[in-house]
């Protein structure tokens, strides 16, 4: 429960302490005195957005502090939330929440003195208090809010979180697939061509600068071939062909033999013979050298053929894929990367489609489960709301809650095939369109926003809040003048309902109705203290006597008769608690 609310420099309040009690707490005070500031303070404790204009004029900052008395269960819940953000929390009876607002829009949130993020403050406050404001009745006219109210009654918070997460996961999968298809968009024909090109290059086993090395080797072999032909020709000139024909050596040898056969005593001729014999010896030696040189020249004609075939292949690849081998190899790498990406795409698509299939099955099953729970809850809530409205002078009003399938895609929705191949439209809240319908007497049911007045909407919302509060386990419920537009007789009924709610929790109500205020277990009045050109606000916890004064003032008659009526009203409230 809330024990103390301390406010400093907020709006028109300089400094005020509000002490709360067990059960039904009521705050009253004249119009414009600042009761709404108290609600703003509680909203800030609950983690609402900061408005620097709320800081009191002439001050740099405002501070709101709330002290809660926690039971063991709540203490453990708070401890778990704080431990998740690295804040050590020693379980105690008291939890002190404070929030500091500065004019530069900076704000500081603290739990028992430790600074915490605003989101953590919201998490903690969600289990501590629930605030219902004056304009809540307007929200019931929106069908999206009607669905939320039904789910709140059905206790579907956990299921709603589950289906929303599945919905988000599915949308992410759809987006991933779309982005992947965009990144790798290629036809089967193009894919086949890429594979053929890559295989052609890969099978060639190209090496950097291989063409230059082959050309050098080709030149070397061709040079060896020319040298072999030349040395062979030299040998043949000396020795002739294989039969000895056309041999210069034979001819010179024969000529020398013929001269010798003449047996002439001719010195000149004999000199010629000697020279011929010398030439014969030189030719024999020269022929042998030519043969040895030729035989030592080693090369493979097959290798030359291999080189020429290899160069032909390289030049063919150059014509198709690049001017240099390095360019061809780079192109092959790009092909490999693209093919790998396409392969990854195929694997990715297969895996992602499996995930999508499973998620679609899961979201269908979850949406059906939620829908069934809504149907059951809608029947119960319709009956409960009719009973509440009967108490609120709307006895002839009937309530029906229609639940239909979403029939067309709306913003943030997806379309999923069920087991029968039928299309189901599912949003982050499920597959249902929920609408509250109302009928007077035997008239047909119509949408709330088509037929209800402002007062009727207030009572419908009030009835809903009473119903929801009865099933809610939050320890503090705050009602900010939700009895606006309600008369005295209904105010008495409201008082009995607030008392009923306060049996298992703390209820804090800001009211202008004396009938409601008379039921208070703990009555606080805001008083205006004038000081020259300014004023201040003080809080006063009323005793039995001062309560009579306040109730009679609220009745508009502070005389004897007014005080008598106030006493009677307080006594009647006491008997009906």
* Residue-wise pLDDT tens digits, 212-222: 898 887 888 88
What number is the average pLDDT over the span 407-430? Answer: 84
Confidence band (pLDDT; 50, 70, 90) for 22? very high
DSSP state of 458: H
Which range is least confidently modeled, 61-65, 427-431, 446-450? Answer: 446-450
At residue 543, the 3 state secondary structure works out as coil
Pick the closest to residue 138 from 452, 387, 402, 378 (CA basis).
452
CA angle 134, 139, 144 (to 5 degrees): 160
Structure tokens at 564: 């008598």
CA distance 409 to 397: 33
Residues 394, 459: contact at Cβ < 8 Å? yes
pLDDT, tens only, 162-181: 999 999 999 999 988 888 76
Q: Determine what percent of the chain falls in helix, strand and coil, rounding each to the nearest 5.
A: 55, 20, 25
The upper half-sphere exposure of residue 552, i.e. CA atoms within 13 Å in the direction of its Cβ, equals 18
pLDDT at 250 over 80: yes
* Angstrom distances, CA of residue 207 to CA of 308, 314, 331, 349: 16, 10, 14, 36
Q: DSSP letters along 74-106, please? A: HHHHHHHHHHTTT------SEEEEEEEEETTS-
The upper half-sphere exposure of residue 304, i.e. CA atoms within 13 Å in the direction of its Cβ, equals 12
CA distance 431 to 418: 12
At residue 348, the 3 state secondary structure works out as helix
* Angstrom distances, CA of residue 399 to CA of 142, 382, 390: 16, 5, 11
pLDDT for the residue numbered 403: 95
pLDDT, tens only, 520-546: 999 999 998 887 777 788 999 999 999
Place of tokens 């020398």: 256
Residues 364, 163: contact at Cβ < 8 Å? no
Q: If you average pLDDT over each of 26-30, 322-326, 350-354, which comes out highest? A: 26-30
CATH superfamily of 1-136+473-542: P-loop containing nucleotide triphosphate hydrolases (3.40.50.300)
CA distance 136 to 98: 26
Confidence band (pLDDT; 50, 70, 90) for 426? very high
């Amino acid at each position: 429960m809330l024990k103390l609310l301390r406010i400093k420099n907020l709006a028109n309040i300089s400094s005020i302490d509000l002490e709360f009690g067990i059960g039904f707490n009521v705050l009253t005070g004249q119009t414009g005195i600042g009761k709404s500031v108290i609600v703003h303070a509680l909203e800030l404790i609950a983690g609402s957005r900061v408005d620097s204009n709320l800081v009191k004029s002439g001050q740099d900052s405002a501070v709101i502090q709330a002290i809660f008395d926690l039971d063991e269960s709540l203490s453990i819940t708070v401890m778990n939330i704080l431990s998740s953000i690295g804040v050590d929390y020693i379980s105690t009876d008291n939890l002190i929440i404070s929030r500091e607002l500065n004019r530069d829009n900076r704000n500081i949130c603290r739990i028992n003195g430790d600074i915490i993020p605003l989101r953590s403050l919201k998490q903690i406050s969600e289990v501590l208090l629930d605030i219902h404001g004056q304009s809540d009745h307007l929200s019931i006219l929106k069908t999206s809010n009607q669905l939320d109210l039904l789910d709140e009654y059905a206790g579907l918070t956990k299921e709603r979180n589950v289906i929303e997460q599945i919905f988000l996961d599915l949308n992410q999968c759809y987006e991933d697939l779309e982005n992947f298809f965009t990144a790798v968009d290629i036809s089967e024909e193009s894919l086949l061509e890429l594979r053929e090109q890559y295989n052609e290059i890969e099978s060639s086993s190209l090496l950097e600068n291989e063409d230059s090395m082959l050309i050098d080797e080709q030149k070397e072999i061709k040079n060896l071939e020319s040298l072999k032909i030349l040395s062979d020709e030299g040998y043949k000139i000396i020795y002739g062909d294989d039969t000895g024909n056309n041999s210069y050596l034979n001819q010179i040898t024969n000529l020398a033999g013929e001269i010798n056969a003449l047996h002439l005593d001719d010195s000149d001729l004999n000199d010629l013979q000697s020279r011929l014999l010398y030439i014969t010896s030189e030719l024999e030696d020269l022929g042998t050298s030519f043969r040895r040189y030729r035989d030592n020249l080693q090369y493979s004609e097959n290798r030359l053929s291999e080189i020429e075939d290899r160069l032909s292949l390289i030049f063919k690849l150059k014509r198709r894929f690049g001017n240099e081998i390095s360019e061809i190899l780079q192109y092959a790498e790009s092909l490999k990367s693209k093919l790998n990406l396409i392969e990854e795409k195929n694997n990715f698509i297969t895996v992602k489609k499996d995930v999508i299939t499973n998620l679609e099955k899961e979201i269908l099953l979850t949406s059906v489960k939620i829908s069934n729970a809504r149907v059951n809850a809608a029947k119960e809530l319709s009956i409960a709301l009719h009973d509440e409205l009967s108490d609120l002078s709307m006895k002839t009003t009937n309530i029906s809650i229609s639940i239909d399938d979403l029939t067309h895609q709306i913003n943030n929705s997806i379309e999923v095939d069920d087991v029968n191949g039928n299309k189901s439209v599912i949003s982050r809240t499920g597959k249902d369109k929920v609408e509250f319908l109302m009928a007077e007497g035997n008239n047909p049911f119509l949408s709330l926003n088509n037929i209800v007045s402002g007062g009727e909407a207030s009572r419908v919302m009030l009835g809903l809040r009473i119903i929801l509060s009865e099933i809610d386990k939050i320890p503090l419920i705050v009602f900010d003048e939700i009895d606006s537009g309600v008369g005295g007789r209904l105010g008495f009924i409201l008082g009995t309902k607030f008392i009923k709610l306060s049996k298992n929790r703390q209820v804090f109500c800001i009211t202008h109705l004396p009938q409601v205020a008379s039921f208070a277990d703990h009555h606080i009045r805001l008083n205006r203290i004038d000081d020259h050109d300014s004023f201040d606000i003080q809080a006063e916890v009323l005793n039995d006597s001062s309560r009579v004064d306040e109730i009679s003032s609220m009745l508009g008659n502070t005389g004897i008769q007014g005080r008598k009526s106030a006493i009677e009203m307080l006594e009647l409230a006491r008997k009906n608690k």
